[in-house]
Structure 1
C-alpha cells in the first residue's frame, strides 16, 4: 500500500516569541504524554506543555496542531504526535517550547489509532479497509524518517498499541477479535523492520466495550506455586517454550510447622495489575490470615509479606477484575473434629493493593457448608463459592459501590445456589462469562467415573442453571482450567489421570462439550491442581504430596497442541520439577496483561 502525499509540518512559534504568545488550542485536552520532567497535553487542535516537577503541573507553552490523536515521548523528551494526516516530531526547550522538526505521511487509507516509541523509532497502528495496519518509522531527536517497508496487515480492529520494555516487540490490541497482535522489531542494514510474530488470545470483551481503547504491556511470565506443607510460595520463571527455570521462594508461615499436609497457605490470587499476590493462610481450627505480597515488575521473588486476620481456616481467594475488592472464603473446618460448621466469605477494600476489611458487610454467611474456592465472573458483578460439604455452589451479587455481597436472587438459600455433585472443589468461569464449571471431587465408591458440573450464568442476576456436565474417565476430579479461547476444558483427577474436553463454539448459549475427552498420559500420582501459561500454550499439572513424608510433590509442564491436533500424543511433557512439598495450587503472572 502506498503513502499519501507528504503532510505539511506545523509552524513553530516565531523566533524570540515567549511561550505566552504561542497559539493556544481551543479544544480541551484528550490525553497526556509524560516526558522527563514535562507533560504534553494533547487536544484536537494543539499541544500544551506543562512542567512535571514537584507540586502541581504548571502550564509552559502551547503549539497549534490540528487533528491530534495520540502521542509518545522518547527518553530524551522528544515528542512524536500522531494526527489524522501524519506523524509529527518535536524537540522541547528548557522553557517548554516545542520546535517542530519534520513530519511523515500516514499509509494511504489508514485511520490512525495509536503510536508508541520502540527501539530507534516509532510504531503506529490504525484501521484500513482491509483491517489493522501497523507501520514502523525510524526516528531520533524529533526527526522522523519514512517507513522502509509497507505496513503489516492484520485482521480485526486496532484499539491500542504499546511496546515491550526492551523495545524489541510491539503489541496491538485487537478489539473486534479480542486478541493481541505481536510484532518483532528486527534490526537491518537499512533500518529496523517489523515482522509478524504471534496472535495471542485475551479475555473476551463485551460488545459494548469493543470501541474503548485498552492498554497492553508485556512482563516476564512467572508461575507462583503454593506449597502447603513447607508453608511457602515459590516463584518459577516461565522460560521460552513453557519450561520452568529455577524457583525463587518467598513467604514463611511462622505459626505453622513443616511436614504436615493440611496447614500453611491454601490458595493464592494475583491482582489484575500484576503488582500484588494474595494468599490465604490456613489455621488449625482457629483464625487464619490473608497475606499480601508486593510483586516486582519482573514478576520474580515476592516482597515482604503483610498479613491481616481472616476467618476460621481460610481457603479460596479472589480479586475482582477492577482490582478494588478482595474476597476470602473461610471454610470453618476444624482439624480436631474433621468437621466444618457453616462458613463465611470476608470482603476487603484494596487501596494501592493493600487490603482492609469492608466498613459494612465485611463478613457474609454462605448458604452451604465448608466454602472451598471462589470465582468472580469477567464483568466483576457476581461471585461464586463452591461449598465442599454442602454439595452446592453459592451465587452472590457484588455491590459495585462498596464490594459487599448479597445473595444473587436476593435471598440466601437454594434460590441463590445450585446443586452440584458430591464435594465440589475447584470452580472456574469461562472467558465469555456464560458458563461456570465445578469439579465434583467426592464421586467414588462403586462408580467408575467422576464428573464436572456445568452451569449457565444468568447475565441479569448471576443465578445458575444446570447445563448438564461431563463425565471424567476416572474418579475424584479436582483441578480445572479453561483455555483462553474457551474451547478446551482441562480436568485433573487425584487418581493421576488428566482429561481434555473440547467444543467447537465457546460462544454458544449451551455449554455442551461435544467430544469424548482426550486422556493425557503423564507421570502423575495425585494430580491436584492446574494452571495455564498466559499464552495458553503450556499446561502445568500440580502433583500433590502423599503420606508419610509429604515432600514428594512435583510440577509437570505439558505443551498444548493446536486445536486440530487433539490426540493424546499431541500433548508432550516438556519438563518435570520436584517441589519437595505438598503442592496445592499455582497461578501464572506476567505475559500480556
Structure 2
C-alpha cells in the first residue's frame, strides 16, 4: 500500500508552514480551537435531555473559556460527537433518541442546529467521519424490523450495525446503507485515504469494535469505497447469518474492547480492553487485514475507556476510567510498538475520564472529559517526548455527566497535515 502522492520533504514543509501560520494567526486571534463536550444530563433535576458545552481554547496557555449561549440542548443521552474535516459541521449522536444532530459551526465557534436525523437502527454508541468529509458512520446496538419495529433487547440480543450517511456540501446527512455487525458494537474509526499503487485505486479502512461476550469480542475490519461509502469486509473479517441472526468474527481484541484509534500514517490500529486493562496493537496488512504487533498487548491503567493519537502520530494517550488518569505512550514509527516509558507515571485527571482529544491546530493540547466530576481536564503535551502537564485553571466545569468531547481548529488556524 502506498499513501497519496506527496513526498516526505513536501509534507514536512507543509507541517512547518502550518505551525508557523498558526502562530502568526494566533497573534491576531487568541482562540486556537474550540472544544465541544456532550453531557448526558443538564444540571436541572429531572430532565433526561442532554446538552453540548462549547469552549474557546486560548492559544497561549490552552485554558478553556465558555462560549456565549453554552451549553446548548441536545437529545436524550448524547454519547458521541465528531466534527467535519473542514471544521464547519458538528455531529452529535443521541443514544436514547437514536438520532444524529447536525450543527453548523459558526466563525465564532457557536453552534447552530440544522437538523436531526434518525439512524437506521436503535441505541447508537459511536460515530466517525471519513477524511474527505463525504460519509458519516454511526454504530448502533440493535437492528430495526419492518416499520421501525424493535426486534431485539438486552434479554434477546440481535445484530447491531453501522448506519452509513452521505454528507452533502451543506453538511446535511442522508442515510444510504446499513451494515450489520456483531451484537454489541461500541466504537468505530476511519483511516485516512490511501492509494494502492498496483491498481491505482483510492480507499480507506474502517474498524469497528464489537464488545460481545467472550469468546466473541473482536475488531471487525472493512474497506471503504470512497465514492459510495459502502463497506466491504477485509480479509479476516467474516459476517454471516446463522439461524436468522448475524454472526460476525474478526480479530481478537481481548475480553471487553472499548475504543479504537488508527495512526495518521494508516499503518497501525490500537484497541483498549477495559476488562483486562490492556492495549492491543495491530499492523495494517494487505487489504486492511490486521496483524498483531509482536509485543502486543500493553499494560494500561484501570478500565481504559478511550485511546487517541496526536496529529504527528508520535504519541498515544489512554484515559483510564477507574484510575482517574491518562497514560502516555511513545509510538515506535518503525514497528508501531508503544512504549510506556513516556507515561510510566500516569497523569492524574478528575474523576472517571471518558474521552480525550488533541487539538488539531498545533497538536500540543490534550483535553479529557471527566464524567463523574462534570469537568474537562486540559493538559499541554511536550512535542519532544509526549509528557503531559496540566494547563492553567484545569479542570474546567462543564455540564453534568460529560460523555465525550472533540476539538475543532479555529478557522484562522490550519489543521496539521502529518503523513509518515
User: Quick one: structure 1 residues 401 and 564, their matched pair in 2 at CA, closer, same or farther if it must change by over 3 Å?
Assistant: closer
Query: Are 2:218 and 2:249, in contact at CA under 8 Å, matched by a contact in 1?
Result: no
Query: Are 1:232 and 1:253, in contact at CA under 8 Å, matched by a contact in 2?
Result: yes
Runs of 4+ in 1 over 6 A off after TM superposition: 333-336, 413-416
Gaps spanning 5+ residues in structure 1: where?
Answer: 1-155, 158-173, 186-195, 199-217, 257-263, 444-449, 546-551
- Confirm whether residue 553 of structure 1 aligns to residue 368 of structure 2: no
Q: Which residue of 2 aligns with 1:501?
A: 329
Q: Which residue of 2 aligns with 1:268?
A: 81
Q: 1:314 aligns with which of 116, 121, 124?
A: 124
Post-superposition offset of 1:464 = 0.9
Query: Are 1:396 and 1:462, in contact at CA under 8 Å, matched by a contact in 2?
Result: yes
User: Quick one: structure 1 residues 463 and 336, their matched pair in 2 at CA, closer, same or farther if it must change by over 3 Å?
Assistant: closer
CA deviations over 1:456-490 (Å, ceiling 9, x no partner) = 112x4111111143433532111211122222111
Post-superposition offset of 1:226 = 1.2
Aligned counterparts of 2:379 and 2:23: Cα–Cα separation in 1: 22
Aligned counterparts of 1:221 and 1:487: Cα–Cα separation in 2: 21
Post-superposition offset of 1:290 = 1.3
User: Quick one: structure 1 residues 565 and 292, their matched pair in 2 at CA, closer, same or farther if it must change by over 3 Å?
Assistant: closer
User: Quick one: structure 1 residues 519 and 498, their matched pair in 2 at CA, closer, same or farther if it must change by over 3 Å?
Assistant: farther
Q: Which residue of 2 aligns with 1:433?
A: 266
Aligned counterparts of 1:399 and 1:350: Cα–Cα separation in 2: 15
- Confirm whether residue 290 of structure 1 aligns to residue 100 of structure 2: yes
- Confirm whether residue 401 of structure 1 aligns to residue 401 of structure 2: no
Aligned length: 359
User: Quick one: structure 1 residues 416 and 563, their matched pair in 2 at CA, closer, same or farther if it must change by over 3 Å?
Assistant: farther
- Confirm whether residue 518 of structure 1 aligns to residue 344 of structure 2: yes
User: Quick one: structure 1 residues 183 and 538, their matched pair in 2 at CA, closer, same or farther if it must change by over 3 Å?
Assistant: closer
Aligned counterparts of 1:554 and 1:497: Cα–Cα separation in 2: 14
Alignment of 1:90-169 (within 5 A): none
Most deviating of 327-336 and 514-523: 327-336
Q: 2:183 aligns with which of 369, 389, 405?
A: 369
Aligned counterparts of 1:294 and 1:565: Cα–Cα separation in 2: 33
CA deviations over 1:227-274 (Å, ceiling 9, x no partner) = 1223111111011221101244254246x3xxxxxxx11101111111
Aligned counterparts of 2:94 and 2:321: Cα–Cα separation in 1: 23
Alignment of 1:337-416 (within 5 A): 337=154, 340-352=157-169, 353-358=171-176, 362-366=177-181, 368-379=182-193, 381-389=204-212, 390-409=216-235, 411-412=238-239
- Confirm whether residue 584 of structure 1 aligns to residue 403 of structure 2: yes
Q: Which residue of 2 aligns with 1:125?
A: none
Aligned counterparts of 1:586 and 1:539: Cα–Cα separation in 2: 11
User: Quick one: structure 1 residues 281 and 183, their matched pair in 2 at CA, closer, same or farther if it must change by over 3 Å?
Assistant: closer
Query: Are 2:207 and 2:219, in contact at CA under 8 Å, matched by a contact in 1?
Result: yes
Q: Which residue of 1 aligns with 2:299?
A: 472
Query: Are 2:31 and 2:57, in contact at CA under 8 Å, matched by a contact in 1?
Result: no
CA deviations over 1:263-293 (Å, ceiling 9, x no partner) = x11101111111111111112xxx6111111
User: Quick one: structure 1 residues 244 and 227, their matched pair in 2 at CA, closer, same or farther if it must change by over 3 Å?
Assistant: same
What is the SS of the residue equivalent to 1:313? strand
Task: Name the structure, 1 or 2, with higher relative contact order (CA <8 Å, separation 6+).
Answer: 2
Query: Are 2:103 and 2:111, in contact at CA under 8 Å, matched by a contact in 1?
Result: yes
Aligned counterparts of 2:86 and 2:54: Cα–Cα separation in 1: 18
Alignment of 1:519-534 (within 5 A): 519-534=345-360
Q: Which residue of 2 aligns with 1:235?
A: 54
CA deviations over 1:413-439 (Å, ceiling 9, x no partner) = 699721101211111111111001111
What is the SS of the residue equivalent to 1:303? strand
What is the SS of the residue equivalent to 2:239? coil
Gaps spanning 5+ residues in structure 2: where?
Answer: 1-7, 25-29, 43-49, 144-149, 194-202, 241-246, 416-420
Structure index of larger Rg: 1
What is the SS of the residue equivalent to 1:433? coil
Q: Which residue of 2 aligns with 1:572?
A: 390
Post-superposition offset of 1:564 = 4.4
What is the SS of the residue equivalent to 2:355? strand
User: Quick one: structure 1 residues 322 and 556, their matched pair in 2 at CA, closer, same or farther if it must change by over 3 Å?
Assistant: same
Q: Which residue of 2 aligns with 1:163?
A: none
User: Quick one: structure 1 residues 491 and 411, their matched pair in 2 at CA, closer, same or farther if it must change by over 3 Å?
Assistant: closer
Using the size of structure 1 for normalisation, the TM-score is: 0.56
User: Quick one: structure 1 residues 184 and 402, their matched pair in 2 at CA, closer, same or farther if it must change by over 3 Å?
Assistant: closer
Aligned counterparts of 1:308 and 1:471: Cα–Cα separation in 2: 39
User: Quick one: structure 1 residues 336 and 585, their matched pair in 2 at CA, closer, same or farther if it must change by over 3 Å?
Assistant: same
Aligned counterparts of 1:564 and 1:397: Cα–Cα separation in 2: 34
Q: Which residue of 1 aligns with 2:4?
A: none
User: Quick one: structure 1 residues 501 and 382, their matched pair in 2 at CA, closer, same or farther if it must change by over 3 Å?
Assistant: same
What is the SS of the residue equivalent to 1:412? strand
Query: Are 1:407 and 1:416, in contact at CA under 8 Å, matched by a contact in 2?
Result: no
User: Quick one: structure 1 residues 344 and 235, their matched pair in 2 at CA, closer, same or farther if it must change by over 3 Å?
Assistant: same
What is the SS of the residue equivalent to 2:113? coil
